[in-house]
Chains A and B, each alone.
Chain A
Amino acid sequence: DSGVTQTPKHLITATGQRVTLRCSPRSGDLSVYWYQQSLDQGLQFLIHYYNGEERAKGNILERFSAQQFPDLHSELNLSSLELGDSALYFCASSVGPNNSPLHFGNGTRLTVT
């Protein structure tokens, strides 16, 4: 058990809809990262927050947004969903902002129909 909690585990929704994925980091970790894993692809970095502030952005679509709250949990919001957004979304946390090994949750599997 990594100590990172992601909810929900599975999500099925229709195109055009909006969903929110939630992540609680390990106790004591200040950094939260979001990754997307599509079929047959590696983990694509989306965004990183450290202690409530956005630190880095990867290939995150404009339809996607995230935030980290004062209690350090994070939410990833996906809107105007398309079939291609179907993927596993992983959250990871680490102690510091740099070079700390990431601790991953078990992911949220999103299916857009």
Chain B
Amino acid sequence: DQQVKQNSPSLSVQEGRISILNCDYTNSMFDYFLWYKKYPAEGPTFLISISSIKDKNEDGRFTVFLNKSAKHLSLHIVPSQPGDSAVYFCAASAKTSYDKVIFGPGTSLSVIP
């Protein structure tokens, strides 16, 4: 049972445009969400997080939006740069088990120069 879903395995975007990566979750107990970026032959690196008490968190070119009623979050990258080409993982954890971070399958983003 996949509790964190990323239904788009891949996404291509032109340099300078907006990249929108989507994530859906099924467990209503999840209240903390994170995005990680992964380059080939490296481990994932933390990008940005959001708590369920917020609906938006921004860090430079990266913004995460949370829609609790829809159990949906999205990561916006504006403007997209070729160096953003990577696999992006959505992850979530619950108040009852914060140390059990559940990851989605990832979306591969290609930013075309």
Contact = CB atoms under 8 A, between A and B. Distances in A.
A22 interface: no
A101 B43 contact: no
Interface in A91-113: 92, 97-99, 101-107
B25 interface: no
A70 interface: no
Instruction: Please classify the interface of chain B as helix (H, G, I), strand (E, B), loop, or mixed, using the class held by over half of its residues.
Output: strand
B98 A97 contact: yes
B99 A97 contact: yes
A40 B49 CA distance: 24
Interface of A: 2, 4, 31, 33, 35, 40-45, 48, 50, 55-56, 58, 90, 92, 97-99, 101-107
B34 A42 contact: no
A43 B103 contact: yes
A90 B43 CA distance: 7
Given A42-B105, A43-B89, A2 B45 contact: yes
Contacts of B89: 42-43
B97 A56 contact: yes
A44 to B, nearest CB: 8
Nearest to A4: B43
Nearest to B93: A99
B44 A43 contact: yes
B102 interface: yes
A48 B101 CA distance: 10
B49 A101 contact: yes
Interface in B11-50: 32, 34, 36, 41-46, 49
A31 B43 contact: no
B98 A45 contact: no
Contacts of B104: 42
Contact of A106 (B34, B36, B43): B43
Contact of A42 (B42, B93, B103): B103
A48 B106 CA distance: 22
